[in-house]
Structure 1
Amino acid sequence: MSDQRVIIEMGMGNDQYGQDYIKAAARAIEDAIRHSALPLFQSIDLSTDEMRVQVTIGVQDPDAVDVAALAEKLPRGHATVRAVEGGLNVTNPETGGTIVIATAAVEAFLPAQSRWRLRT
């Protein structure tokens, strides 16, 4: 039986002074999950351990993101994180400093349930 996406949240994070892609990505993930709750687990007979969490991070330098370290910090489910090209770097012309901006999509999937009535 395949799993079904039950939630998707988006977030944005930045590092204004350190040009740290990991810090910006972590803040984007935190921004996304800060706005969500999963009361579903109080209503169904499933543990959060059965949830698969898939995170996509958009930054200008995906290779600079430690996706394993970010996955370890997610509080629920079995998480995977991937970094793709996206986000934004904004350079201050007066100082040369760069603000790193990351975006995140956090998706949660559960095993399909026979009693669910989902639209197709």
Structure 2
Amino acid sequence: MAWKRMVLEIGMGTDIRGGDSTKAAVRALRDALWHNSLGIADILGQPVDSMRVEVTIGAPNPETVDKQQVLAVLPHGTGTVTCVEGGLTIPTGRDDGSVTLLAHAAAVVYMDIPEEAHR
């Protein structure tokens, strides 16, 4: 058996007024995942919780993202979250200095498949 990359899902999320990196990151991962209905595990005859998902979040302040909240979005399998500099902040134009914050998510799904299946 060998872990093989099966799927890449990409999404974007925002916090319109609060500038909250975690809120935007959670929404980005939901955007990436909720537009798909993947039958990869079923096709390979494996349980859906056998998937391994590597999530990368791009946010303006990556150190402020709560990785556990992002990880909790995954409906199946196990995962890891890595946060990197990215995304975007847009001033709202208010006097309070608030911003709209955009985060991006990439979720790579891996499955442990027999060696002969990928030759």
Could you tell me the TM-score, scaled by structure 1's length? 0.89
Q: Which runs of 5+ in 1 are unaligned?
A: none
Q: Secondary structure at the match of 1:116?
A: helix
CA distance in 2, matches of 1:114, 1:94: 57
CA distance in 2, matches of 1:29, 1:73: 7
Q: In the alignment, does 2:5 pair up with 1:5?
A: yes
Q: Does 109-118 or 46-55 show the bigger shift?
A: 109-118
Overall identity of the aligned pairs, in %: 36
Task: Work out the number of aligned pairs and report it.
Answer: 118
Could you tell me the TM-score, scaled by structure 2's length? 0.89
Q: Which runs of 5+ in 2 are unaligned?
A: none
CA distance in 2, matches of 1:65, 1:74: 16
1:64-79 correspondence runs (5 A): 64-79=64-79
CA distance in 1, matches of 2:72, 2:26: 11
> Which residue in 2 is equivalent to 1:48?
48
CA distance in 2, matches of 1:104, 1:68: 15
> Which residue in 2 is equivalent to 1:89?
89
- Whether the 8 Å contact between 2:15 and 2:101 is mirrored in structure 1 is yes
Instruction: Output the aligned Cα RMSD.
Output: 1.6
Q: How far did residue 60 of structure 1 move?
A: 0.7
Q: How far did residue 94 of structure 1 move?
A: 4.8
